């Protein structure tokens, strides 16, 4: 095993360079629809809106297709681990059918876009599998296969897969797809520009005043006036309805290594066992395939990330043989408390603000689905599945209670615990090069990183979202907030929301 030669970079980002940044927004503009966020959900929404004749501006805080979408495992599948039996049980068979239909339609729609634009994005059809190795769990898989079939999917229960190890049972859904998400999305962004849409990068939105029209303000002090606003920032940056109480953030780690093509398993695989393991392959150099293994999910800011990377690498070697890893990276997902994404009008906001979030690790099909759904809603139509995804849904509150309470207990622990004196301490002398720690200085919590040259970099340790204490992720050299998943670089700049303001610099 050679894990140390691996580049700490997403394979998708490494193999689809982006060129010069698109301009930042430096003047006030007026537009029909402002879409905040340039990932799969934001660009898909902008694409559908532009196609329907709407004037659109995309406002991206960093680079388009470089955030969560640039770090995904890029499966376009409607088999979302074990969602159908749960939906059938909690919201009825019709909800499961609508979920299956909306996600299947998104997959077909993506295939049509690839065809129409002639996008070279390594598109491949593949069957999707959810499997278990523990024989005691095969009943769950049988029930999932039955629920998925009843929902209208080409699903069956199997006991053999193309994986090089035994499974006790698996749900298979045929005719799914996998692709290179950045090749796809960068081509969509280029086409959007050709169609007259505006895309601004390095344009962080920090304020929203709802009304008719709505007004957005950016970090640079520019105003965007828009009739409609779509918040597609992964975790919503504007959340007057407290959606964050129904969302929990989770990070997952990814390793990639080439394998001989004749040893690469055909299909896309996931198991809920062992803290989730996901497997797919992608085209690679010299007739090889790139094995991509994902797992070890954890709350941002929690635990030893390096040890988790090692554990996942060991698992991959144990199951696939000797591997020379080329890339490793991490991704972040938001789980909703009832396992159904939140896509539609932003609760308690004005009538013209919409949100797409809570994709639960299935952001590609759901992001494309969200683009179509939000466009329909903005254009005054209601697809049959709008109620299923409606963020204002209340009927599921009681059924969501266990997940809701578990998430809130974790957040409350940080809200309260992080405000107690001496919650953390230590001295900057104890911080090794490349590492970071929260220390008490002058009665304040400071997040201190020591770089490879021994220089200290200090910022406030209070997350600018709602004030929890951040923790250091050493392999990724980032400060992470365990409450809602905001992430900051070592200088305190926001890498990932919901926070929109940087951590304050500190002298130390
Ligand atoms: Fe909410 Fe940090 S992300 S308090």
pLDDT digits (tens, 9 = 90+) for 24-45: 999 999 999 999 999 999 999 9
pLDDT the model gives residue 127: 97
* Model confidence pLDDT, tens digit, residues 333-349: 999 989 899 999 987 76
Residue 330 Cα to ligand 1 midpoint, Å, equals 19
pLDDT at 350 over 80: no
Q: Is the CB of 189 under 6 A from ligand 1?
A: no
pLDDT the model gives residue 274: 79
CATH 2.102.10.10 residue ranges in the chain? 428-506
pLDDT band at 441 (very low <50, low <70, confident <90, very high): confident
Q: Is the CB of 483 under 6 A from ligand 1?
A: yes
- Measured from the Cα of 414, ligand 1's closest atom is 4
Residue 498 Cα to ligand 1 midpoint, Å, equals 7
SS3 call for 170: strand
Residue 342 Cα to ligand 1 midpoint, Å, equals 19
Q: How far apart are CA 193 and CA 188, in angstroms?
A: 9
Distance of CA 348 to the CA centre of its chain: 24
Tell the residue nearest (CA) to atom 4 of ligand 1: 466
Q: Is the CB of 299 under 6 A from ligand 1?
A: no
Max mean pLDDT range (301-305, 317-321, 441-445): 317-321
pLDDT the model gives residue 287: 86
Half-sphere exposure of 94 (CA within 13 A, CB side): 5
CATH 3.50.50.60 residue ranges in the chain? 7-72+182-245+339-398
Q: Can you give the pTM of this predicted structure? A: 0.90
- CB–CB of 242/288 below 8 Å? no
Q: Is the CB of 396 under 6 A from ligand 1?
A: no
Q: Is the CB of 484 under 6 A from ligand 1?
A: yes
pLDDT band at 433 (very low <50, low <70, confident <90, very high): very high
Q: How far apart are CA 6 and CA 12, in angstroms?
A: 14
Q: When comparing pLDDT for 90 and 393, which is higher?
A: 90
Residue 463 Cα to ligand 1 midpoint, Å, equals 6
pLDDT band at 428 (very low <50, low <70, confident <90, very high): confident
- Measured from the Cα of 415, ligand 1's closest atom is 4
pLDDT the model gives residue 411: 58
Q: CATH assignment of 7-72+182-245+339-398, given 3.40.630.10, 3.50.50.60, 3.40.1710.10, 3.40.50.1010?
A: 3.50.50.60
Within 8 A by CB and 6+ apart from 404, the residues are 245, 246, 337, 397
* Of 75, 3, 6, 5, nearest in space to 40 by CA: 75
pLDDT the model gives residue 414: 57
Third-level CATH fold of 124-179+248-336? D-Amino Acid Oxidase; Chain A, domain 2 (3.30.9)
pLDDT the model gives residue 422: 43
Which whole number is the average pLDDT over 236-256?
84
Tell the residue nearest (CA) to atom 3 of ligand 1: 484
Q: Is the CB of 181 under 6 A from ligand 1?
A: no
The backbone region for 104, taken as left when phi is positive above 0, alpha when psi lies in -120 to 50, beta otherwise, is alpha
* Model confidence pLDDT, tens digit, residues 181-233: 999 999 999 999 999 999 999 999 999 999 999 999 999 999 999 999 999 99
Q: Is the CB of 463 under 6 A from ligand 1?
A: yes
Q: Is the CB of 469 under 6 A from ligand 1?
A: no
Q: When comparing pLDDT for 507 and 460, which is higher?
A: 460
Residue 465 Cα to ligand 1 midpoint, Å, equals 5
Residue 343 Cα to ligand 1 midpoint, Å, equals 21
- Measured from the Cα of 497, ligand 1's closest atom is 3
Q: Give ∠ CA 128-233-110 in degrees, rounded to 5.
A: 40
**CATH of span 428-506:** 2.102.10.10
Which whole number is the average pLDDT over 304-329?
95
- Measured from the Cα of 466, ligand 1's closest atom is 4
Parallel/antiparallel/unpaired status of strands 487-488 and 478-480: antiparallel
pLDDT the model gives residue 141: 97
Within 8 A by CB and 6+ apart from 3, the residues are 255, 309, 310, 313, 325, 328
Q: Is the CB of 499 under 6 A from ligand 1?
A: yes
Out of 498, 500, 502, give the residue to mutate to test ligand 1, the one with the largest number of ligand atoms within 8 Å of its CB.
Answer: 498
Residue 136 Cα to ligand 1 midpoint, Å, equals 38
pLDDT the model gives residue 26: 96
* Of 356, 392, 396, nearest in space to 241 by CA: 392
Within 8 A by CB and 6+ apart from 193, the residues are 199
pLDDT at 415 over 80: no
Contacts of residues 453-456 at CB distance under 8 Å and 24 or more positions apart, as own/partner, are 456/428, 456/431, 456/508
pLDDT band at 98 (very low <50, low <70, confident <90, very high): very high
Tokens 């980002």, residue?
A: 13
Q: Is the CB of 411 under 6 A from ligand 1?
A: no
pLDDT the model gives residue 381: 96
pLDDT the model gives residue 23: 94
- For the record, the structure tokens of 59 come out as 């406002």
Residue 388 Cα to ligand 1 midpoint, Å, equals 27
Cα R_g (the chain), whole angstroms: 22
pLDDT the model gives residue 2: 44
Residue 125 Cα to ligand 1 midpoint, Å, equals 39
pLDDT the model gives residue 72: 84
Q: Is the CB of 486 under 6 A from ligand 1?
A: yes
């Amino acid at each position: 095993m050679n894990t140390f030669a691996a580049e700490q970079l997403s394979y998708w980002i490494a193999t689809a360079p982006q060129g010069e940044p698109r301009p930042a927004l430096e003047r006030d503009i007026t537009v029909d629809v402002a879409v905040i966020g340039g990932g799969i959900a934001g660009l898909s929404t902008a694409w559908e809106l532009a196609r329907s004749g709407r004037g659109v501006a995309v406002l991206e805080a960093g680079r388009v297709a470089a955030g969560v979408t640039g770090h995904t495992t890029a499966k376009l599948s409607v088999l979302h681990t074990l969602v159908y039996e749960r939906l059938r049980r909690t919201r009825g068979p019709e909800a499961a059918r609508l979920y299956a239909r909306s996600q299947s339609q998104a997959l077909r729609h993506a295939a049509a876009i690839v065809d129409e634009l002639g996008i070279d994005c390594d598109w491949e059809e593949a069957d999707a599998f959810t499997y278990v190795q523990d024989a005691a769990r095969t009943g769950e898989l049988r029930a999932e296969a039955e629920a998925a079939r009843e929902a209208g999917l080409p699903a069956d229960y199997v006991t053999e897969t193309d994986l090089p190890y035994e499974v006790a049972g698996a749900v298979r859904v045929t005719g799914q797809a996998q692709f290179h998400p950045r090749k796809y999305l960068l081509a969509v962004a280029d086409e959007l520009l050709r169609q007259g849409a505006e895309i601004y990068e390095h344009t962080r939105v920090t304020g929203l005043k709802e009304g008719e029209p709505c007004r957005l303000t950016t970090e640079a002090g520019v105003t965007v006036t828009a009739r409609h606003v779509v918040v597609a920032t992964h975790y919503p940056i504007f959340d007057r309805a407290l959606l964050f109480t129904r969302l929990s953030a989770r990070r997952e780690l990814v390793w990639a290594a080439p394998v001989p093509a004749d040893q690469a398993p055909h299909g896309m695989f996931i198991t809920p066992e062992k803290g989730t393991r996901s497997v797919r392959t992608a085209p690679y150099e010299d007739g090889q395939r790139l094995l991509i293994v994902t797992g070890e999910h954890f709350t941002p800011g929690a635990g030893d990330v390096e040890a988790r990377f090692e554990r996942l690498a060991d698992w991959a070697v144990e199951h696939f043989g000797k591997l020379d890893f080329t890339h490793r990276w991490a991704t972040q997902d938001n789980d909703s408390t009832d396992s159904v994404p939140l896509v539609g009008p932003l609760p308690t906001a004005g009538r013209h603000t919409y949100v797409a979030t809570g994709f639960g690790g299935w952001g590609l099909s759901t992001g494309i689905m969200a683009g179509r759904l939000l466009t329909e809603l903005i254009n005054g139509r209601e697809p049959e599945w709008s109620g299923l995804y409606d963020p204002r849904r209340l009927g599921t509150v009681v059924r969501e209670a266990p997940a809701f309470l578990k998430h809130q207990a974790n957040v409350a622990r940080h809200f309260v615990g992080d405000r107690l004196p001496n919650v953390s301490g230590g001295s900057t002398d104890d911080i090794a090069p490349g590492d970071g720690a929260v220390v008490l200085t002058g009665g304040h919590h400071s997040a201190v990183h020591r770089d490879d040259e021994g220089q200290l970099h200090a910022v406030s340790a209070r997350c600018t979202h709602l004030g929890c204490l951040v923790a250091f992720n050493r392999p990724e050299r980032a400060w992470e907030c365990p409450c809602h998943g905001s992430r900051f670089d070592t200088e305190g700049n926001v890498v990932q929301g919901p926070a929109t303001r940087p951590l304050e610099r500190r002298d130390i």
